[in-house]
Amino acid sequence: MIKVAIIGKFGYLGHNLKKYLQKKKNINLKAFSYEEFCNIKNINTFSFIINAAINKKFIENKYNKNLDIDLKISNKIFDTNCKFIFLSTRKIYSNVPNIKEESKLKPQDLYAKNKVISERQCFKVLNKKLIILRIPNIIGGEIKNNRKVRVSFYENYLKIIKKKNKFFYENYYKDFISMEQFCKIILKILKSNLNGIYNVSLGKKIYIKELLSWLNFANKDKKLFVESAHKLKNENFYLNNTKISKTLNIKIKKIELKKYCIYLSKKIFKNEYHKKIR
């Protein structure tokens, strides 16, 4: 039995990981808020700690170790046998294609700069007990509004279709992964002997126009999203996922993302879709 602690049970990633993992055999799962985790005394009973919690001030201010939840967790489990799964961000890289784990880091915002520092600090504490996952845009899952500190691409999409105001987008290519794919990779990691840094991604170019066509599959209002003729800056990128694919012996397929987006679309636009097929 693999005993796992998820920190950040109220957040987007924490909530969806909990829903997925608690149904799996051989996984003994406990989910905590960060405040609850701080009071746990028998940490050494866990095989893995996954942190999905973050301090809003950590996003908005220059690096301060007192705001670094990942570092605090690392220090707390330093003398245990727990492995720590650190959820980082693809924004620590510049916008270029085929980004590898050893590619030059060029943090794009204050949050990414802080994550880079945090990665290094946690590595000094935990070394081979640390698993750093650099993650792109995640599509799907249940949106939790309480204690939210960041807004995802998917959540922005849901807000736009709810308001029904025409939205102009720039057709860059990016790297996306479904919540289902992400959770499956986490499960594989829990059953493996990983350490180090990994890009968790689709590893392929996905143009915004293409992704929107999948998400709007069951949407009657096909004119809600309009491609802009202008591109203000370079936002094209995708991550190279060869390292994690080979290490875990998995294939992260584009067709899986497409099917998942169409499934989401039918769920979001349930009434419209049933009217359309009658």
pLDDT for 110-136, tens place per residue?
999 999 999 999 999 999 999 999 999
pTM above 0.85, yes or no: yes
Comparing C-alpha atoms, which of 176, 143, 163, 186 is closest to residue 261? 176
Query: In the prediction, which pLDDT does 151 show?
Result: 80
Query: In the prediction, which pLDDT does 271 show?
Result: 67
Whether the per-residue pLDDT at 278 is higher than 70: the answer is no
Say if strands 167-169 and 196-199 run parallel, antiparallel, or are unpaired: unpaired
Whether the per-residue pLDDT at 11 is higher than 60: the answer is yes
Instruction: Count other C-beta atoms under 10 Å from residue 260's C-beta.
Output: 18
Mean pLDDT of the chain: 93
Whether the per-residue pLDDT at 54 is higher than 60: the answer is yes
Comparing C-alpha atoms, which of 17, 21, 33, 45 is closest to residue 69? 33
Instruction: Count other C-beta atoms under 10 Å from residue 130's C-beta.
Output: 21
Comparing C-alpha atoms, which of 170, 173, 174 is closest to residue 229? 170
Whether the per-residue pLDDT at 277 is higher than 70: the answer is no
Domains of the chain: 2-277 (3.40.50.720)
| 235-251 tens-digit pLDDT | 899 999 999 999 999 99
